[in-house]
Structure 1
Amino acid sequence: MTPFVVAIILSAALLHAVWNAIVKTAADRTTTLGLVALGHVIPGAVMVAYLPLPELESLGYVALSTLIHFGYFYMLGQAYRHGDLSVVYPIARGVVPALVALWAMVFAGEFLPLQAWFGIGLIGLGIQLSSWQALKSGVGSTALRYALGTGVCISLYSLVDGLGVRLSGNTLSYWAWGAFGHLFIAAFIGLRRRQVLAQIPARSWLIGILGGFVSMTAYGLVLFAKNFAPLGAVSALRETSVIFAALIGFVFLREGNWMRRLGAAVVMALGVAMIGLSV
């Protein structure tokens, strides 16, 4: 994997951490997730109006990805409802790299070298280490189920979009239609929370939609990288967003132990290096 592709994915991971920090600090996380979805729809609609259609065979992947994203937003909202973000988030993200690598091996015939699997393992270890104190306190069975369900959804849409973007013939068009598909998610949450929406201050609307812009940009970078690197490796590098989120939490939100988080960052950096040098 070239340094340029690694840099693209790590940039996406940093942006992903930023929008998750926005959700984390929101008073109403479900409504904020709806606004994040709306933040995908607005630029997606503009891009769809001007860009050509992606190849027809990729549109089925867009539809399937939209359906899985719907499940992802539902699982994530329920996980946050039943468990603390500091516990739910590392569980949900920690299972993703290995699952994507397995799905890619089964459905795309992508076999990673042993060194890359070690790198994936180190990134998974770093994810858990970054939130070790919170994880030690335990997690309820309901929160655990929804956290694992969230991770499965992430791994599935990562696979579907990785295959779809390679068939699209135009990464920008595939990205635009995927973002515009969040219309169904935003509409569903909007209808469910319609009584709350009128009471949300304009600043919260702006922050939520801005979070959507950031999230969409992050995933666009990941889609671009999936054209040039194995899906499992891309997913593993993307999950370094967890350590970026942990560092943001420590610096800006005064959360956690800096020594543990620095140690987790070192472990994950080693994992990134192993993957980058092996594929």
Structure 2
Amino acid sequence: MFTYTGGAVLFAAVLHASWNALLHGNRDRFLSMTWMSVAIAALSTFIVMRLPLPPSAAWPYVVASGLVHIVYNVSLVRSYRRSDLGQAYPIARGSSPLLVTLGAALFAHEPIGALHALGIVMVSGGIIALAWQKGRVSPAVGMAALVTGATIAVYTVIDGIGVRLSGGAALTYTAWMFLFYWLMPVLFVAKRGVAALWMPLRETPLAVGSSLAGGLVSYAAYGIVIWALQAGAMGSVSALRETSVVFAVLIGRMFLGETVSARRWLACVVIASGAVCLGL
């Protein structure tokens, strides 16, 4: 796994942790996620105008994934309203690799070796341990984060199957799927009104700019993952991607003022060890 594909997925993990930190660092996360979605959808519109359509076999997966991603975005915002980055993020990300592995086995008939299974368990266990080390997890926080993790698993399995049916057209598949992100500003306007969306452009342009940049980073991060899903086992790709929580811990410590205990560093070591197992 630690060929070009594995290295690319680890790079995607760094990018993924970065845009989540940008989202968490903004006070109005629903607004931030909306402007991130505008950047993603606008870039997708530019790309789809220059590429052919995906194969017909991939279209059901494009549509399903696009809709699940919107549910994921809303769930993520709800999770971050209730807890800090070091608690909500690990629960959401740590629950997904095991679910992805199960989904890939059921729907894509993917086998997995004992060493890779150990790696996935180590990554998921270490990630979830990070959340509990922050203190007691309330039912509301745990439920919101687990729903987010479930949506991650669902769209990962959908995209793993869908991109394989696209005939190697990973960029085309990704761009058409991300077109559904135009629904986020529609939801925002329906809830808060047009003025609430446009006013920050005048009052807090830097915050809007950081959200737009975060959207482009998010696009690159998940685009790499979809590309990797063409050939790599879904569970392994998902687990490597979720090592992003290690980078999230570092970002939270360095830029958001979150504390990191010795036990949290130990959990990070377990996660890194699991990633090594996935690369053997």
TM-score of the aligned structures, taking structure 1 as reference length: 0.93
Aligned to 1:174: 173
Aligned-partner Cα distance in 2 for 1:33–1:151: 17
2:249 is the counterpart of 1:251: no
Stretch deviating more after TM superposition (252-261 or 229-238): 252-261
Whether the 8 Å contact between 1:38 and 1:182 is mirrored in structure 2 is yes
CA contact (8 A) 2:85 2:252 kept: no
- Could you tell which deviates more after superposition, 246-255 or 78-87? 78-87
Select between 213-222 and 192-201 the one with higher mean Cα deviation: 192-201
- 2:31 maps to 1:31: yes
3-state SS in 2 of match to 1:182: helix
Q: Is 1:43 the equivalent of 2:46?
A: no
> d(CA) in 2 for partners of 1:163 and 1:231?
9
* Aligned partners of 2:87 and 2:130 also within 8 Å: no
Query: Structure 1, residues 76-118: CA drift from partner, whole Å, max 9, x if none?
Result: 2222233444322211111100000000000000011111111
Contact 1:83 1:139 in 2 (8 A): no
2:205 to 191, 202, 213: 202
Map of 1:223 onto structure 2: 226
CA distance, structure 2, for counterparts of residue 260 and residue 144 of structure 1: 20
Q: Deviations over 1:191-243 (max 9, x none)?
A: 32334223312111111111100000000000111112100100010001111
Deviates more, 1:220-229 or 1:71-80: 71-80
User: 1:2: how far off?
Assistant: 4.4
Determine helix, strand or coil for the equivalent of 1:256: coil
CA distance in 2, matches of 1:239, 1:257: 19
Shift of residue 262, structure 1, vs aligned partner: 3.4
- In structure 2, the residue matched to 1:105 is 105
Structure 2 stretches lacking a partner, 5+ long: none
Residues 110-259 of structure 1: matches in 2 within 5 Å? 110-134=110-134, 136=135, 138-169=136-167, 170-194=169-193, 195-200=195-200, 201-257=204-260, 259=262
Q: Distance in 1 between matches of 2:40 and 2:170?
A: 16
Alpha-carbon spacing, 1:58–1:193, altered in 2? closer, same or farther (3 Å): same
Name structure 1 gaps, 5 residues minimum: none
> Counterpart of 1:89?
89
Q: C-alpha separation between the residues in 2 aligned to 1:72 and 1:166?
A: 22
SS of the residue corresponding to residue 207 of structure 1 reads helix
Corresponding residue for 2:67? 67
Task: Tell me how far apart the structure 2 counterparts of residues 199 and 133 of structure 1 sit (CA, whole Å).
Answer: 39
Count of residue pairs the alignment pairs up: 275
Q: How far 1:51 moved relative to its partner?
A: 0.7
Q: How far apart, CA to CA, are the structure 2 residues paired with 1:190 and 1:85?
A: 26
Matched AA of 1:171: A
Q: Is the 8 A contact 1:130 1:243 kept in 2?
A: no
Q: Distance in 1 between matches of 2:2 and 2:9?
A: 11
Give the drift of 1:253.
Answer: 2.6
Any idea what the Cα deviations from partners look like across 1:223-271, whole Å, max 9, x if unmatched? 1111121001000100011111111111223321264443233211211
Aligned-partner residue type, residue 175 of structure 1: T
CA distance in 1, matches of 2:84, 2:256: 15
Task: Give CA-to-partner distance per residue, 1:101-159, whole Å, 9 cap, x none.
Answer: 0000000000111111110111112213434431x2x2222222221111110000000
3-state SS in 2 of match to 1:54: coil
- 1:55 aligns with 55
Give the residue type in structure 2 aligned to 1:275: L
8 A contact 2:119–2:278 mirrored in 1: yes
